[in-house]
Amino acid sequence: MSRIGKQHIILSDQIDVHIKDQVITIKGPKGSLSQNLSELVIVTLSNVESNKTLSVSIKEKSKKAQQIHGLSRTLINNMVIGVSNGFRKDLEIRGVGYRSQLDGNNLILNVGYSHPVVISPPKNISIQIENNTNIIVQGINKETVGLIAAKIRDVRPPEPYKGKGIRYKNETVKKKIGKAGK
């Protein structure tokens, strides 16, 4: 049995859950998310003393079902957190002359290339900029927030000699020693 899959997901009063066939839809103050679940898991909603909880269990005892058990519970939990609080990734740009700006919803990065790099986020992701060097990516879906943040970081990942580039906030970059001169 999965240790993560056995844990119950506690829901607040603001969150509505609808389960139909193997599709779960969760609505909250920030928006709505839905997910197709595997046929190997069963999701049950229970009301105990004014506390709504979701629990995930498996239909059959097989290796594949046990693998999907914890994954399904984590995906549902991320959906619940996303519609109630949302997710956020902070990035920072380091380097002389490196900067960013917003043009409508599009993010424009000037990071040492001969041309500016334009990144257009999906409709449910918001990008904010502070001081031209700090980028904040926010949204309700953890997967898309992480993908957009990784896409921004991949434009100019931090290099190991001077540390210039785009990095996550509080990310440590292991620096290498430069060439020894005579």
Q: Which range marks the domain in which residue 56 is found?
A: 3-84
Domain-located, residue 175 = no
Cα distance between residue 14 and residue 8, in whole Å: 18
Mean pLDDT (whole number) for 143-150: 94
Backbone angles phi, psi at 6, to 5 degrees: -75, -20
Q: Are 105 and 68 members of one domain? A: no
Q: What is the pTM of this model?
A: 0.86
Q: Express each pLDDT in 39-70 by its tens digit.
A: 888 888 888 777 888 888 888 888 888 888 98
Report yes or no: 22 and 36 within 8 Å, Cβ to Cβ. yes
For residue 33, the domain's CATH number is 3.90.930.12
Q: Does a structural domain hold residue 80?
A: yes
